[in-house]
Amino acid sequence: MPWSSSPTFQVGTLVALRLLVGWHFLYEGLAKLLNPYWTSAGYLAESQWWFQGLFLAIAATPTAVTIVDYLNMWGQTLIGLGLMLGLFTRWATVAGVVLLALYYIVAPPFAGYTYGMPAEGSYLIVNKVLIELAALLVLLAYPTGRTFGLDRFFARAGASASEPLAPAVAGGVRHD
Amino acid sequence: MTDDIREPETEWLGMTRRSLLKALVSVPVFGVFFVSFLKKKAADDYRRRALLAELGVTEGGPAVIENAVSRPPSKRIRLGIIGFGGEGESLVRHAGFAHPEWIKEARKAHDEDPRDKELETYLGQDDLNVALTAVCDVFDIRAERGVAASQVAARPGGGSANPPAKRFRRYTELLASGEVDAVIIATPDHWHSRMTIDAASRGIPVYCEKCMTRTEAEANAMYNAVKGSKIVFQLGHQNRQSESHQKAREVVAANILGPITLVESTTNRNSPWGAWVWDIHPQGNPQTIDWEHFQEPAAKRVPFNLERFFRWRCWLDYGTGLSGDLLSHEYDGVNMILGLGIPKSVVASGGVYFFKDGRDAPDVFQAVYEYPDRALTFVYSATLANGNNRGLVFMGHDASLRVSGALSVAAEQESTRFAQKIEDGIIDPSRPMFTYRPGSKGIDAVTSATAEYFASRGLLYTYRGGRRVSAYHLHIAEWLDAIRNGGDTSCNIERGFEEAITCHMATRSYVEGRRVTWDPALRRIV
């Protein structure tokens, strides 16, 4: 068996992926929480695709912007904490997917759409938001929180509780 | 292999040690995150504190908003409007009387684009407790529009609808009618002085559109009349109410820029409308327009002419072109921030280079003003055939201040004052030291590229306590408040005189093709 198929390596990379995405979320959230001048209004105002009307209406309504700002700041922070610590991992992953999908919908890099916002790379349909979203889907399919995370405490309290790990890992247990 | 004898695992929180370690595997990473985060935050905070302490400017909105009106409008004021063209209609709307058709269109615009908040801003205006009782216009259709606006049902602040205003064909009749307590003058410039002088002689307060007058002589006469009568006078430079201008004044007062040697202000427009090629009303004809009355105080009399009537800014007989239309605003903004007063001299140039439609007012125009006492030059540069927005920049030895809807300050690489801070890496001259976006919660001293971008886009509205309001509305409210409760207006006759003379110096220089100067002793352009 090549080393890259070893259960240790597979689980290790999954946990590492979870930590990296969690780190990113947590810092994005905290940076916003600690910057009193941050607001989502500018980003929303760039909206061009689905639900454009809704996003623009939010951007133009101070109360709605305040609510969206809070949801973003705390959403990102809590998702980040969840992913990093492996706490309520499943909920954090699902919430992360939803949030990233919203970011993508507001400003998808489609041909013909141009944005005034500064971007640090070149994108066509696929951007880093979409890739991070896909990474979270992988983490949803192969969760690691109950084995390598605080969820383990809850898992113990519940039934027999070792979570279905990555198939190769699970397979590894079965076949090797 | 080794023997199978294992120590019995100690249980901890119901887990084996091995299990526990697995559960806590991410904690060290979390620790690294936290340490790095605190380090970065400490560095940012230090930079921010050091910067703001050094700059001596407050983080929040303008500390002092001059003449902010907080007193309830006690006495009802009967308002008259002379000149119900585009600007007159806008002023009356900001006083609380939108034309019903405008309301319909604003509602449609909002339905099509939810970002369009014109109607909401109008309806959110304070009820100024005024009634529009008199309308005067030489064009029947516009006079009727004014009457329709006076009785509009949709009033801001839940105000009730009023009875229709009376229409007057002569402004003198309007002033003599006893139907108005105060008057807004929004006619072409060649009428401003005569109307204001007549209103002043009756003790009727005046809100007059810019440019204050068409000529120097008119400016002198108007100044003396207003001073002599002590009426409350407001010139229509609504930028006086803009939050970013107020904040800019704070930045300059804190001497963040160091010695300012050059101020550059600009106008770039690139549309026929922006070049005063305004719509000719299909019902405009010698029967509906009192042409002779319109051109009565004009320098030159000509036969009935629709273009001259509807696009009057294109001719120096009725106004002063770019000078009185847009330089006047730019100058007043700079005058508000720096308190410049009348310049020592000016050289102006330009020409009719793009809109060769028979006009004599230049569509490209530059004026260079010297203020030797202040050791600075003020440059105005405009074209009506290019839309490259160049903004307004104050250039100091230590920093540059850029004012648009928003405000941004960037340090100079060779600054004396900031040399140490630049060396210490606290200030990066390639990025703004701070930006200030009106309506946001304050100065942003750790500006990201995105924040910088959004700030630079500026905003159409000004803000009071985070609420979006029109600067026009505030400017009118300030005038009405001074009428009711005394006190001064922010663009009073002194500021108006400075504005008029400064603009007329440039016009004279352009027309006569020479450098002109101001004689402060004789109070004359020479």
User: Does B370 lie in the same domain as B505?
Assistant: yes
User: In CATH, what number is assigned to the domain containing residue B417?
Assistant: 3.30.360.10
User: Does B284 lie in the same domain as B201?
Assistant: no
In the structure, what pLDDT confidence band is assigned to residue A161 with cuts at 50, 70 and 90? Answer: very low
Q: Where are the domains of chain A?
A: 3-175
> B240-267, pLDDT tens digit by residue?
888 788 889 988 998 999 999 999 999 9
pLDDT reading at B38 higher than 90:
yes
In the structure, what pLDDT confidence band is assigned to residue A109 with cuts at 50, 70 and 90? Answer: confident
Q: What is the pLDDT of residue B63?
A: 56
User: Does B275 lie in the same domain as B326?
Assistant: yes
- Alpha-helical segments (H) within B322-470: 322, 328-338, 419-423, 449-456
Residues of B in contact with A121 (CB under 8 A): none
DSSP A122: -
More reliable by pLDDT, B58 or B75:
B75
Number of cross-chain residue pairs from A and B with Cβ atoms under 8 Å apart? 79
pLDDT reading at A33 higher than 50:
yes
User: Does B221 lie in the same domain as B293?
Assistant: no
In the structure, what pLDDT confidence band is assigned to residue B18 with cuts at 50, 70 and 90? Answer: confident
Task: Judge: A60–B117 Cβ closer than 8 Å, yes or no.
Answer: yes
ipTM value for the complex: 0.81
In a domain, B34, yes or no: no
> B335-370, pLDDT tens digit by residue?
999 999 999 999 999 999 999 999 999 999 999 999
> A42-95, pLDDT tens digit by residue?
788 778 888 887 887 787 777 788 889 899 999 999 999 999 999 999 999 999
The per-residue b/e assignment along B452-464, b for 16 or more CB within 10 angstroms, e otherwise, is bebbbebbebbbb
pLDDT reading at B464 higher than 70:
no
> B293-333, pLDDT tens digit by residue?
999 999 899 999 999 999 999 999 999 999 999 999 999 99
Closest CB to B453: pick one of A15, A85, A117. A117
For residue B119, how many other CB atoms are within 10 A of its CB?
20
In a domain, B25, yes or no: no
pLDDT reading at A169 higher than 80:
no
Domain limits for position B186: 77-240
pLDDT reading at B227 higher than 80:
yes
Long-range CB contacts for residues A98-105, cutoff 8 Å, separation at least 24: A99/A72, A99/A75, A100/A129, A100/A130, A100/A132, A100/A133, A100/A136, A101/A133, A103/A129, A104/A129, A104/A130, A104/A133, A105/A49, A105/A50, A105/A51
Q: What is the pLDDT of residue B71?
A: 60
In a domain, B279, yes or no: yes
Closest CB to A118: pick one of B24, B26, B450. B450
User: Does B278 lie in the same domain as B183?
Assistant: no
Q: How many domains does chain B have?
A: 2
The answer to whether the CB of B331 falls within 8 A of the CB of B313 is: no
pLDDT reading at B271 higher than 50:
yes
Residues of A in contact with B454 (CB under 8 A): 42
Residues of B in contact with A12 (CB under 8 A): none
Q: In what order do the strands lie in the sheet with B130-136?
A: B166-168, B130-136, B77-82, B182-185, B206-208, B233-235
B77-82/B182-185 β-pairing: parallel
**End residue of a domain, out of B212, B240, B268:** B240
Which residue from B426, B433, B393, B434 is spatially nearest to B412, judged by alpha carbons?
B433
Task: Judge: A27–B33 Cβ closer than 8 Å, yes or no.
Answer: yes
Look at residue B10 and give its three-state secondary structure: coil
In a domain, B346, yes or no: yes
User: In CATH, what number is assigned to the domain containing residue B131?
Assistant: 3.40.50.720
From residue A27, give the alpha-carbon distance in Å to each of A32, B389, B447, B453: 8, 36, 17, 22
Residue B71 C-beta-side C-alpha neighbours within 13 Å: 14
pLDDT reading at B191 higher than 70:
yes
User: What are the backbone angles phi and psi of residue B288, rounded to the nearest 5°?
Assistant: -95, -15
Q: CA–CA separation, A78 vs A151, rounded Å? A: 15
DSSP A49: S
Specify the amino acid at residue B73. P
Specify the amino acid at residue A47. S
In a domain, B480, yes or no: no
**End residue of a domain, out of B240, B262, B285:** B240
Q: What is the pLDDT of residue B223?
A: 98
pTM of the model: 0.81
More reliable by pLDDT, B205 or A31:
B205
Task: Judge: A149–B26 Cβ closer than 8 Å, yes or no.
Answer: yes
As a whole number, the mean pLDDT across chain A is 83
In a domain, B24, yes or no: no
Burial label for A170, CB within 10 Å (0-12, 13-18, 19+), is middle
User: Does B269 lie in the same domain as B204?
Assistant: no
User: Does B320 lie in the same domain as B207?
Assistant: no
Probe site for chain B from A17, A35, A37 (most B CB atoms < 10 A): A37
Per-residue tokens: B335:
């005058």
Q: What is the mean pLDDT of residues B461-472?
A: 66
The answer to whether the CB of B314 falls within 8 A of the CB of B357 is: yes
> Any chain B CB within 8 A of the CB of A20?
no
User: Does B311 lie in the same domain as B208?
Assistant: no
